[in-house]
């Protein structure tokens, strides 16, 4: 809870001094297992801000809503989210001067389904402790302990940046970057399959896509003023929901974010029918890393997207 | 109303037979945590271990993409051809909230302006309801006038009972279905089915974790179109279509032609979502709902006011799908509670 207190303290100062017009952070949600994005602009609302292992949403994309507003915007980011800030800066979507980055050193998040299954939905989290072995959530009445093995969110199992890669404040003790054993185990398992099996796998996934566009709307690499999937003229992909159109949507999107996807995992989280979108994006991430020998996009401001630059050392075996 | 009893073993055999004689739509476990209503070839494909399907089963009466007719302009003539009418279908395993969802759609498509596509499917589809056996944390059907064992609207209602299943024929169509397959059932001589269903209903009624009270909400909204509250909600809305596409009562659609060679093609309609920015965009570029605020407001007014204005029915059945799936926790139960609180202090 030290992080939460510190966060509120900084937010209060920023708002009181007029340094920031709004602080984008997390507040308690409608159930114990959920948090909501909160937009705090008054000092007296600062105590709504929370920090706990359920703060999964990447809030960075909301910065786009303030692009044309006067004043500075403060935003709470975890390590994974901070790469999205670099994405928006490199894509000239936001200016560095307009943003105050409240970076949190994040030891990993908890799977909200497990919290929902064990805690009364109306309960409130009063205190949190995380150790190398487990998460403990303290409510008004009880302490619930979850082992990291059972409860750590899938994306956190291959976390590279616990501490944000870019920030104005670092809240919590810095956790050095780690190299997970093999972040691409699932991608490799799929690569091993014969091409027909891979094709059948993705056909099955894409055929249930609802085309709700949540994956696109939440994605910090998707910032086109008008998305081609929203264009009526010319109509590149029709609204018809069938495998062919759904596949076109997903493949176009995957290639559009190739080399720019910061691997924040939000597309996976929001998909209402559990299409493993990060598996698709991480396949491309793996290829880009291997071909161009680059870090995960968004890792540093100096490292431009591999497909957005040209160097003489680029692979050109197709020439 | 007549009731019948069926052994557990007979359920599988009966559904295998139904799948042979009809297009049988039933819940299928598509992936971990994804249950979808799909056409099945038999009982083996069906998964009955679910409370709510991930996407509502409305799509079998009102498909996400539905071909309306084929056209051709070859030879200077306009020729229209009807699409083939769907086979008679049975939807098995509809939960009470989803049956109520279909009853909510009926006056839209079968009212003053009958919609032949909807009508055709509705008339050719037998609805077999299945009472809930548990209440999930997001369920609030009892707050919206329904209940986990309230099968009104189904042709046949199935309840799990000791040693098998109880069936109640609620319409003549349900009765005919029983009659046609009578070998699978025995008449319920001692009112076991009704008693079991009522007992189950009482047990489940106590399991709802959250109830909402809509009293006065519509009347408040009648008087208050502009509320700063909608700005607050819209600020976090992603503008995706999850809530509208998984909802059992949302029914907006768009019509488009697909004619790759420009001469022959098909006219279809497909679901649209009032959450999308281009939903109300007009040909000249004007958009009467220019920001997410107007769109979010429209959705909740549709659920809580407009549907009641038009049809005297709530636009929400309390299935809770949007509650669990909204990525930014826009929770209609919370919205109803907030509006009610404001209304009381207004």
**Confidence grade of residue B170 (pLDDT, cut at 50, 70, 90):** very high
What is the pLDDT, as a whole number, of residue A178? 74
ipTM of the modeled complex: 0.95
Order of strands across the sheet that contains B253-258:
B79-82, B65-72, B264-271, B253-258
**Confidence grade of residue B194 (pLDDT, cut at 50, 70, 90):** very high
Q: Helix A185-192 and helix A277-292: axis angle, to 10°?
A: 90
Q: Which residues contact A266 (CB under 8 A, 6 or more apart)?
A: A57, A58, A215, A218, A219, A220, B327
pLDDT in tens, B11-55: 999 999 999 999 999 999 999 999 999 999 999 999 999 999 999
Q: Do B235 and A116 touch (CB under 8 A)?
A: no
Chain A neighbors of B35, CB-CB under 8 A: none
Of B34, B270, B273, the CB nearest to A273: B34
Locate the domains of chain B by residue range: 2-205, 217-345
Residues 46-75 of B with CB under 8 A from A: 54-55, 64-65
* Burial (0-12, 13-18, 19+ Cβ within 10 Å), A311: exposed
- Round to whole Å and give the CA distance between B223 and A283: 53
Measured at the CA of A39, the angle between CA A37 and CA A44, to 5 degrees, comes to 120
Output helix, strand, coil percentages for chain B, rounded to the nearest 5: 40, 20, 40
Q: Which of A24, A119, A214 best tests the B interface by mutation, with the highest count of B CBs <10 A?
A: A214
For chains A and B, count residue pairs whose Cβ atoms are closer than 8 Å. 107
Domain at B2-205: CATH architecture? 3-Layer(aba) Sandwich (3.40)
Interval B280-299 mean pLDDT: 94
Q: Does A41 touch chain B (CB under 8 A)?
A: no
Chain B neighbors of A65, CB-CB under 8 A: 235
Q: Do A213 and B241 touch (CB under 8 A)?
A: yes
Residue B75, pLDDT > 90, answer: no
Contact B5, B184 (CB under 8 A): no
Q: Which of B137, B281, B293, B337 best tests the A interface by mutation, with the highest count of A CBs <10 A?
A: B137
Locate the domains of chain A by residue range: 2-171, 185-308
The torsion of the CA quartet A162, A168, A172, A173, rounded to 10 degrees, works out to 70
Q: Does A289 touch chain B (CB under 8 A)?
A: no
Chain B neighbors of A217, CB-CB under 8 A: 238-240
pLDDT in tens, A14-49: 999 999 999 999 999 999 999 999 999 999 999 999
**Confidence grade of residue B135 (pLDDT, cut at 50, 70, 90):** very high
What is the pLDDT, as a whole number, of residue B342? 87
Q: Does B134 touch chain A (CB under 8 A)?
A: no
């Amino acid at each position: 809870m030290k992080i939460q207190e510190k966060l509120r303290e900084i937010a209060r100062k920023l708002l009181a001094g007029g340094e920031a017009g709004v602080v984008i952070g997390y507040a308690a949600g409608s159930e114990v297992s959920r948090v909501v994005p909160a937009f705090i602009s008054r000092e007296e609302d600062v105590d709504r801000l929370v920090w706990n292992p359920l703060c999964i949403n990447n809030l960075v994309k909301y910065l786009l809503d303030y692009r044309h507003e006067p004043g500075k915007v403060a935003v709470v980011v975890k390590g994974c989210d901070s790469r999205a800030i670099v994405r928006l800066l490199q894509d000239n979507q936001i200016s560095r001067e307009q943003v105050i980055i409240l970076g949190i050193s994040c030891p990993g998040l908890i799977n909200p389904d497990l919290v929902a299954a064990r805690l009364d939905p109306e309960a409130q989290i009063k205190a949190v402790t995380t150790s190398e072995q487990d998460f403990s959530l303290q409510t008004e009445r009880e302490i619930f302990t979850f082992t990291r093995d059972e409860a750590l969110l899938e994306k956190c199992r291959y976390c590279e940046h616990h501490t944000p890669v870019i920030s104005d404040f670092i809240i919590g003790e810095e956790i050095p970057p780690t190299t997970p054993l093999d972040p691409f185990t699932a991608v490799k398992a799929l690569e091993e399959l014969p091409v027909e099996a891979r094709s059948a796998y993705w056909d099955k996934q894409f055929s249930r896509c609802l085309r709700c566009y949540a994956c696109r709307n939440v994605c910090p690499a998707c910032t086109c003023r008008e998305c081609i999937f929203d264009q009526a003229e010319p109509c590149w992909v029709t609204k018809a929901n069938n495998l062919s159109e759904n596949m076109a949507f997903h493949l176009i999107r995957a290639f559009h974010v190739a080399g720019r996807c910061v691997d924040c995992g939000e597309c996976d989280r929001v998909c209402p029918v559990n299409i493993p979108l990060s598996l698709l994006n991480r396949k491309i991430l793996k290829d880009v890393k291997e071909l161009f020998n680059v870090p995960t996009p968004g890792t540093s401001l100096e490292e431009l997207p591999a497909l957005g630059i040209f160097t003489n050392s680029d692979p050109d075996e197709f020439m | 109303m007549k009731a019948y009893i069926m052994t557990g073993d007979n359920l599988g055999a009966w559904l295998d037979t139904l799948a042979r004689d009809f297009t049988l739509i039933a819940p299928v476990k598509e992936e971990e945590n994804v249950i979808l209503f799909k056409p099945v070839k038999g009982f083996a494909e069906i998964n009955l271990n679910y409370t709510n399907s991930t996407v509502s089963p409305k799509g079998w009466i009102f498909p996400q993409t539905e071909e309306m007719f084929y056209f051709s302009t070859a030879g200077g003539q306009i020729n229209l051809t009807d699409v083939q009418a769907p086979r008679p279908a049975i939807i098995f395993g509809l939960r009470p909230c989803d049956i109520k969802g279909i009853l909510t759609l009926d006056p839209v498509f079968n009212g003053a302006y009958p919609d032949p596509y909807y009508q055709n499917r509705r008339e050719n589809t037998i609805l077999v309801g299945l009472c809930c056996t548990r209440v999930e944390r997001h369920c609030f059907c009892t707050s919206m006038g329904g209940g986990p064992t309230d099968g009104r609207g189904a042709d046949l209602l199935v309840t799990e009972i000791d040693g098998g299943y109880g069936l109640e024929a609620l319409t003549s169509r349900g009765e005919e279905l029983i009659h046609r397959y009578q070998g699978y059932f025995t008449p319920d001589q001692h009112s076991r089915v009704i008693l079991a269903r009522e007992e189950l209903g009482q047990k489940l009624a106590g399991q709802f974790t959250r109830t909402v009270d809509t009293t006065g909400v519509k009347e408040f909204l009648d008087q208050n179109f502009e509320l700063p509250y909608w700005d607050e909600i819209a600020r976090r809305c992603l503008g995706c279509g999850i809530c509208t596409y998984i909802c059992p009562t949302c029914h907006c659609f768009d019509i488009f032609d697909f004619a790759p060679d420009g001469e022959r093609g098909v006219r279809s309609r497909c679901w649209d979502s009032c959450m999308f920015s281009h939903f109300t965009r007009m040909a000249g570029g004007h958009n009467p709902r220019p920001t997410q605020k107007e769109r979010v407001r429209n959705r909740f007014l549709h659920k809580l006011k407009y549907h009641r204005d038009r049809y005297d029915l709530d636009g929400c059945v309390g299935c809770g799908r949007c509650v669990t799936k909204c990525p930014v926790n826009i929770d209609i139960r919370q919205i109803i509670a907030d509006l009610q609180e404001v209304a009381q202090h207004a």
